[in-house]
Amino acid sequence: MGAREIVLRLNGVERPVQVEDQALLIELVRGLGLVGTKQSCDAQVCGTCTVLLDGRPVSSCTTLAIEADGRRVETIEGVADGPALHPLQEAFIERFAFQCGYCTPGMIVSAKALLEERPEPDRDEVRRWMDGNICRCTGYETIVEAVLDAAERMRSTP
Amino acid sequence: MLRRFDVHRVTSVAEAVALRRRYGEDAAVYAGGTEILLAMKLGLARWGHLIDVKTILSLGEVSVNTDTLRIGATITHWTLERHPVVARILPALARLEANVANVRVRAAGTLAGNLAFAEPHADPPALLVALGARVLLQGSAGSRSLPVAELITGMYQTAIGPDEVIVAVDVPLPSADTRAAYVKFQILERPSVGVAAVASVREGRFVGAPAVVVGAVDEVARRVPTEALAGADPADPRTHEAVAEAARAAVDPVADLAGSADYKRHLVGVFARRALSSLAAQAF
């Protein structure tokens, strides 16, 4: 207790790390140099710190790092396949679904979990799923459009 | 950044109970962490020991026996929202769970944890009270079952003993003619007003009186006196108006960012009427 060694699969790579019990998952991933995951509200409300834990979206600001032990953690850095952008990333760029971009990693990671569970969501499902991700610049229309567009791209290129 | 604490991963309820005895006020039971980690970050609470009950496998089950749906203490909102048995037996609960907070909170947070934290702005208590749900507790003196209505005693206050741990939430299986509804108004992460209604309806009449409970506006979920409506017609607008009026009178709303006391009292009437309309719509 106090500090322990955990092994997580971080963006597909097994990583043994030493963490204190009270360390937060966002501190762990950002400490490992993966600074795409952003902190904002620090209260599970805004979604900028979203990462996937065994495929489910969680607020890394309010998740203990030790929860990642033996599990898959996916951050925005793991979304693209090398230089090839993920369909969600392409759709967000092409549909201008961001301005400052601070919320975008959380938006994309959260949407990825949705599309893995529901490859053909309707507009209402996208809105309901994404309602916990806050954007203060651009409004949500283009974001919803981008997620729907990405779903279509993923269906046409299996 | 959190202050230092130790997490104890236990594999049995007895072990969790023993740790609660050992550390007393300095320990908290930990599952999803969506409430207590937040409270610690905000400096509202501090514990030196978290007892992680997610590693107790027996608490991670949903089961149905002859008269009860048993929801293990580490079952998340995420699981309940997708559970085929819950959707079939208690669709109102499945819908409620699908609309708790946001998807990340649902993925981590548990129903039992929601009750144990007793945050007044919560969805589950109103419906669980209306359904007559109970909580199974285990402590060093043995186990006991407490109605949810008696479990939550005030804002952030419960009747859970200093060495007790929630084992499960037990919801009585509704009869074939039981209808249940939960409707809410929400502008932020938590409900401003939630109203649950549960009733048996036979041949166009309530069997007995409907159970109507108002959540989120008051310190605890409030049961609305509805005895006068025993046998009433659930589709009659006068029934809805009588429930709305009784609901407005039954609550003592706390003013906060979601609205003034008067505004919330008004909403309680509106949403009580809608809850009854929803019951009536299901019954015919």
Residue pLDDT, tens place only, B228-259: 999 999 999 999 999 999 999 999 999 998 89
Using a pLDDT cut of 90, give the percent of chain A over it: 95
pLDDT at A72: 98
Nearest CA in chain B to A55: B107
Q: Which of A21, A43, A57 sits opposite B107 (nearest CB)?
A: A57
Q: Contact at 8 Å (CB) between B206 and B187?
A: no
CB neighbours of residue B225 within 10 Å: 13
CB contact under 8 A, B4 and A44: no
Q: Which of A21, A45, A110 sits opposite B5 (nearest CB)?
A: A21
Query: Residue A139: which pLDDT band, with cuts at 50, 70 and 90?
Result: confident
pLDDT over 60 at A22, yes or no: yes
CB contact under 8 A, A59 and B104: yes
pLDDT over 70 at A1, yes or no: no
* Tens digit of each residue's pLDDT (9 = 90 or more) over B34-69: 999 999 999 999 999 999 999 999 999 999 999 999
CB of A58 within 8 Å of any CB in chain B?
yes
pLDDT at B137: 98
CB contact under 8 A, A131 and B102: yes
pLDDT at B28: 98
pLDDT at B138: 98
Task: Compute the mean pLDDT over every residue in chain A, rounded to the nearest whole number.
Answer: 96
Query: Residue A158: which pLDDT band, with cuts at 50, 70 and 90?
Result: low
pLDDT at B81: 98
pLDDT at A3: 85
Query: Residue B187: which pLDDT band, with cuts at 50, 70 and 90?
Result: confident
Three-class DSSP category at A16: strand
Chain A: give the shortest CA distance to residue B189, in Å: 7
pLDDT over 90 at B189, yes or no: no
Task: Compute the mean pLDDT over every residue in chain B, rounded to the nearest whole number.
Answer: 96
pLDDT over 70 at A140, yes or no: yes
First to last CA, chain B: 54
Q: Contact at 8 Å (CB) between A131 and A57?
A: no
Nearest CA in chain B to A54: B107
Residue B210 vs residues A92, B180, B223, B235: alpha-carbon distances, Å: 49, 10, 11, 13
Chain B neighbors of A42, CB-CB under 8 A? 41
Structure tokens at B92: 């109102």
- Long-range Cβ contacts of B154-160 (<8 Å, 24+ apart): B154/B118, B154/B219, B154/B220, B155/B118, B155/B119, B155/B120, B155/B219, B155/B220, B156/B117, B156/B118, B156/B119, B156/B120, B157/B118, B158/B115, B158/B116, B158/B118, B160/B116
> Who contacts B161 (Cβ-Cβ below 8 Å, separation ≥6)?
B137, B139
CB contact under 8 A, B7 and A1: yes
Q: Contact at 8 Å (CB) between B145 and B135?
A: yes
Which of A 92-111 lie inside 8 A of B, CB atoms?
A: 110
Query: Residue A156: which pLDDT band, with cuts at 50, 70 and 90?
Result: confident
pLDDT over 60 at B284, yes or no: no
Preferred mutation among A59, A73, A74, A134 to probe B, highest tally of B CBs within 10 A = A59
* Tens digit of each residue's pLDDT (9 = 90 or more) over B92-144: 999 999 999 999 999 999 999 999 999 999 999 999 999 999 999 999 999 99
pLDDT at B283: 63
